[in-house]
Amino acid sequence: MSYVPKNVRDTAAKNDHYAKLAREQAEETRYSVIAQWAERDLKRDPADSLRGATTTLHAASKERSLGVKAGVEVVKAARQARLKELYEREALMYEKELNARGLSLVKPRD
């Protein structure tokens, strides 16, 4: 067996210790999630909880779909606003190019 310096042994021991702590933390996180599921199931009406933690509440499903629809509307409005800004910028650029050539667009009088 070859000689391993003390600093290398200490670093290896620290790495092993940190790996053990990370495994324990992951296990505790898993237990925490399972406990949250169990608490959620205890709050449910027994008629709704047929299969425990795997059951999806109908009200939660509706709420989720309404949230998705609202999100889609927000994204759609933001995209339309950005497109409007883009078209306005492009129209200004086009008008500037025409003005640089000595041409112009016919604009309606207000």
Q: Alpha-carbon distance 15 to 13, whole Å?
A: 5
Q: Where are the domains of the chain?
A: 1-55, 57-104
**Rounded to two decimals, what is the model's pTM?**
0.41
Q: In the predicted model, is pLDDT for residue 49 greater than 90?
A: no
**DSSP states of 27-66 as a string?**
HHHHHHHHHHHHHHHHHS-TTT-SSGGGPPPHHHHHHHHH
Residue 3's pLDDT band, with cuts at 50, 70 and 90, is: confident
pLDDT in the model for residue 63 = 79
pLDDT in the model for residue 76 = 92
If DSSP codes are grouped into helix, strand and coil, which group holds residue 102? coil
pLDDT in the model for residue 42 = 76
